[in-house]
Amino acid sequence: MHEWSPESWRGKPIQQDAPYDDVSEVEAAVRRLRELPPLVTSWEVERVKRLVAEAQEGKRFLLQGGDCAETLADCRSPVIADKLKILLQMSLVLIHGARKPVIRMGRFAGQYAKPRSKPTEEKDGVVLPSYFGDLVNRAEFTPAARRADPTALLAGYTHAAMTLNFIRSLSAAGFADLHHPEYWDLTFISREDLPPALRAEYEGMIDRLSAALRFMEALGEQTVDELTRVEFFTSHEGLNLFYESAQTRRVPRRPGWYDLTTHMPWIGERTRALGGAHVEFFRGIANVVGVKVGPSVDPAEIVELCRTLSPSDEPGKLVLITRLGAGQVEAKLPPLVEAVKRAGRRVLWVTDPMHGNGQTLASGLKTRSFDDILLEIERSFDVHEASGTYLGGVHFELTGEDVTECIGGGLTEADLDKNYASLCDPRLNYTQALEMAFRVARRMVRK
Ligand code: PEP
Ligand code: CO
């Protein structure tokens, strides 16, 4: 294969390219991004790789979640703190269910670039570029807002940095100390709407977990430290290659190139073409890389993606995130799993039960059903169990806010208008997400 460099993607066909009209402005933003300090460090990236390597061996479980599209406007303390709380609470429920440590990976601090099914949008006869996420343009339907603005690359960077700064501070402080659940448990935020049964289940689980923790500490158990250290890692779709490559660098005393915008970038379903710019870029970096795979992928293609993105089959390197849909997963997943197994490739299998289960209502509103989401997860567990492989993670679009975007788990179609806030795909709200964690944990215990 030809030589890789952080810029070698520029010579490849690119999908979902941002429609910039002024190349010199883009290059100016890229030059500045190259000088700015990295958002994460290579030590952290290597640590995530070790954790993912253990997950590949069945010793850990990955919980990945956050907004479909983060926005600069939502870079606000309650929104960020609530997202951490729901991820933390879900992770505890899953630790309890899976009986193994959970890697907490947010879709945050950089989830600002969105692929779109159409490059333009039409409203009342006016055609404008689609909204490609706050890293590229703005959501309002005006020509000025929809212009692809190269300075948005810098605004995205600064908001990612502010988000990450707050997340790091909260994690380092008592917020995420498992010895002090009063800082982050349900009573911290008033949740009168939370169904009493769900609250009781959660509180009971926390009591059992705290008792187990005290018991292990009394025994002088070494692993307690590891279990009680609450870490959050970041991930986002590595869609805008100007942004990713500008923050990709060598570090002292380590070989390789690190994309230091995030711990684990992933390649989206629409940009994973072999021979395309995104696969070219991501084949050269040292980070753990995720790839979304939808129902159109064929088994030979997925094996080729493994070979290209993880040429030395390095432990912890590759995460395959299937998003096939509840109706298709039983037919489509087994051949993929078998092909990767036959090829002897080391991967972490994760299910994204969101992106294959979208529906558009008569009103034009996009939604997803709680039951379909759960069904895809359960069926994915079934498939992996049948083939002797390990389903090692789940990937959700969720928020800690009381939004009304998905149906089921307490919401009906008539509720969706109450607080539909997503600029992109529908997310699970706080209650739905917690309920989902319990359902997944129950499925894990059943095995
Ligand atoms: C997403 O994760 O928001 C997304 C666009 O997913 P996919 O690439 O799987 O369609
Ligand atoms: Co989405």
Read off the CATH number of the domain in which 371 is found: 3.20.20.70
Q: Is residue 216 part of a domain?
A: no
Q: Is residue 181 part of a domain?
A: no
Mean pLDDT by 10 residues, the chain (447 residues): 93 97 97 98 98 97 98 96 91 88 96 97 97 98 98 98 95 71 55 79 82 74 64 97 98 96 98 98 98 98 98 98 98 98 98 98 95 98 98 97 94 95 94 94 84
Q: Is residue 191 part of a domain?
A: no
Q: Is residue 212 part of a domain?
A: no
Point out the ligand 1 atom lying closest to the alpha carbon of residue 111: 3
Residue 219 pLDDT: 72
Q: Is residue 195 part of a domain?
A: no
Q: Is residue 24 part of a domain?
A: yes
Residue 229 pLDDT: 67
CA 183 – CA 197 distance, rounded (Å) = 22
The neighbouring-strand residues paired with 289 are: 318
DSSP string, 325-374: -TTTHHHHHHHHHHHHHHTT---EEEE--STT-EEE-TTS-EEEBHHHHH
Distances, alpha carbon 112 to alpha carbons 136, 243, 271, in Å: 8, 11, 16
Domain tally for the chain?
Answer: 1
Residue position matching structure tokens 């679009």: 397
Q: Is the CB of 38 under 6 A from ligand 1?
A: no
* Nearest CA owner, ligand 1 atom 10: 269
Residue 201 pLDDT: 86
pLDDT digits (tens, 9 = 90+) for 80-101: 999 998 999 899 899 888 888 9
Residue 140 pLDDT: 97
**Contact between 334 and 383 (Cβ < 8 Å):** yes
Q: Is residue 55 part of a domain?
A: yes
Q: Is the CB of 268 under 6 A from ligand 1?
A: yes
pLDDT digits (tens, 9 = 90+) for 139-174: 999 999 999 999 999 999 999 999 999 999 988 876
Domain of residue 350, residue span: 8-174+230-446
The contacts found for 52-57 with CB under 8 angstroms, 24 or more apart, are: 52/103, 52/264, 52/288, 52/316, 52/317, 52/319, 52/348, 53/315, 53/316, 54/316, 55/103, 55/316, 55/348, 55/392, 55/393, 56/315, 56/316, 56/346, 56/347, 56/348, 56/390, 56/392
Residue 2 pLDDT: 83
Residue 43 pLDDT: 97
Residue 208 pLDDT: 82
Phi-psi sector, 220: left (phi>0), alpha (psi -120 to 50), beta? left
Q: Which ligand is nearest to the CA of 351?
A: 1
Q: Is the CB of 70 under 6 A from ligand 1?
A: no
Distance 66 CA to ligand 2 centre (A): 10
CA 395 – CA 398 distance, rounded (Å) = 9
Q: Is residue 2 part of a domain?
A: no
Q: Is the CB of 320 under 6 A from ligand 1?
A: no
**Contact between 237 and 113 (Cβ < 8 Å):** yes
Q: Is the CB of 426 under 6 A from ligand 1?
A: no
Query: What sign does the dihedral 418-424-425-431 (CA atoms) show?
Result: negative
- Residues in Cβ contact with 89 at an 8 Å cutoff, skipping those fewer than 6 apart: 184, 185, 186, 202, 434, 437
Alpha helices in 104-195, H assignment, sequence order: 143-146, 152-172
Residue 11 pLDDT: 95
* Nearest CA owner, ligand 1 atom 1: 68
**Contact between 416 and 405 (Cβ < 8 Å):** yes
